[in-house]
Structure 1
């Protein structure tokens, strides 16, 4: 092995990465269970619109005590506000190494996402750039993401069978047209798989798969098949089983217990590395996992504007 390469342990085997690739694992709190104790992330909420409607997703309210995807106390606009936020965070919290855009809607459905990525990457090229997406617009966005050195991509993938996917999504909007039912699920899956995930892996981006665990009889018995497909066949790096938060059309579903979640992770472990320390972060989360400081950051920015 060449001297400039080091290794990371993936599924029990040593895999060679160059130092920059290794940094995108070892300093990213979502990609390394060790990094989450030492390093933090800054989620930049610049993306309000979404291009799909999941049956478990609602973004109409916010409480400071909520910790779940899709929640933010405010949307930063224009994108220059995102740059101001990152400047503030880097100055006050130097352990933050990752800047991510995770909503509150679908980042790739909002041009403000790319404007913010450009500004932040130009001023802070050393920060690890990260995106979280449903994957619908990922194929046509790959080149621009690569241009801004987005090296870590999370794709929410809840089914690799359209018959299951159509139970999870109300509609999908693509190229100005709304799709429903099986047609919507097939379109989304095609974009996610051979489109987005395959292209991201080919670009040597680290791909994390988020799968919402929805019992009973929605996608619960299907999840190991998803793990096998993305890990064993497609080269995704890590897999995150997220228990359903009951709301919207799935409000009456009883979510899986912590024991059931662990058992599901164990079933998926043979195919792909499991992320077992997920904090189900808000779209405006800042700090280490479980030690969020966004309220302090935003208050400080507000106070500085008054001065």
Structure 2
């Protein structure tokens, strides 16, 4: 089997990695509230039903509650048959929360046919990758926004690593080094890897082809360039237009394959991309700092 055929087989059914997103769906479990970095474009909210973006969820779930939710969804004659992937993507960073590992273990035990997927900032990836491999993680998404720590310092307010807080270039350098090291180890273990990069006009545009080349070299399968959602520290920067986004994707597709169907999903998304079911409350509440 050729490498291309093998990869096509591995992503079959995964809507966020190039599988048929009109037919196959995913279910995100919001079991990871804590985060270990502060991105300038991120505002996490719990108990939130009226926003559609990463970092928000209608409610946080415990691992046991998440398993009950998976059972409910899989038992639905309408939604159950389309769910192929169980993912954990927040609302914080999955690797900063022990609940992530417990949830994957519970889901794997009861629904072994479902693919397990996770999205992370990558800070704790090198030290967590073997454990994720043992749990049977199929797909991994790492958000990488810079290859130069000087640029990263404009994007990340701080990084909390092994109990210490680092800011500026120092913090960004730790994060970036761990992202690439973790990605490399994940590829060696045979995981299917997507890299998310937030396009931040005026800050990291020149970094994107450098990121694309580096992650391709290390074993990433596809890249997902996403538009900035202006908020938090970067609320003053204008969101890139669809035309601008398309130009950047086209400029990098010769380096690594580009994923263009991303809808920047919530941490509790269920169903087909762009047609999600959410159950929540009308208020939006910021989590404790």
* Distance apart, 1:65 and its partner CA: 3.5
- Residue 50 of structure 1: which of 11, 31, 35 is its match? 35
Matched, 1:242 2:226: yes
Structure 1 residue aligned with 2:93: 106
Matched residue of 1:273: which SS? coil
TM normalised by structure 2 equals 0.93
Residue 24 of structure 1, CA deviation: 3.6
CA contact (8 A) 1:72 1:284 kept: yes
The DSSP-based 3-state class of the residue aligned with 2:128 is helix
1:198 paired with 2:184, answer yes
- Residues of 1 paired with 2:240 and 2:8: CA distance? 34
Counterpart of 2:106 in structure 1 is 119
Which 4+ residue blocks in structure 1 deviate beyond 6 angstroms? none
* Residue number in structure 1 paired with 2:167: 180
Give 1:64 shift.
2.6
- The structure with more radius of gyration: 1
Deviation at 1:61, TM superposition (A): 6.0
8 Å contact from structure 1 (residues 47, 106) kept in 2: yes
CA distance in 1 between partners of 2:214 and 2:247 (Å): 19
- CA positional deviation for 1:63: 4.5
Counterparts of 1:120-269 in structure 2 under 5 Å?
120-193=107-180, 195-216=181-202, 218-231=203-216, 233-269=217-253
TM-score, with normalisation over the residues of structure 1? 0.87
Q: 3-state DSSP class of the match of 2:108?
A: helix
Q: Could you say what secondary structure the match of 2:74 adopts?
A: helix
How far, CA to CA, are the matches of 2:121 and 2:60 in structure 1?
19
Higher relative contact order (CA 8 A, sep 6+): 2
Query: For the residues of structure 2 that align with 1:139 and 1:90, how far apart are their CA atoms?
Result: 33
Q: Distance in 2 between matches of 1:53 and 1:221?
A: 22
Q: Report the CA distance between 1:89 and its aligned residue.
A: 1.2
Q: Which stretches in structure 1 are left out of the alignment for 5+ residues?
A: 8-13, 300-307
CA contact (8 A) 2:30 2:91 kept: yes
Aligned residue number for residue 285 of structure 2: none
1:15 aligns with 2:4: yes
1:221 to partner: Cα distance: 2.0
1:147 Cα deviation (Å)?
1.2
2:261 is aligned with 1:285: no
Pick closer, same or farther for the CA change 1:196–1:171 going to 2, 3 Å.
Answer: same
CA-to-partner distance for each residue in 1:160-214, whole Å, 9 max, x for gaps?
1111111100000011000011110110011001x21000000110110000000
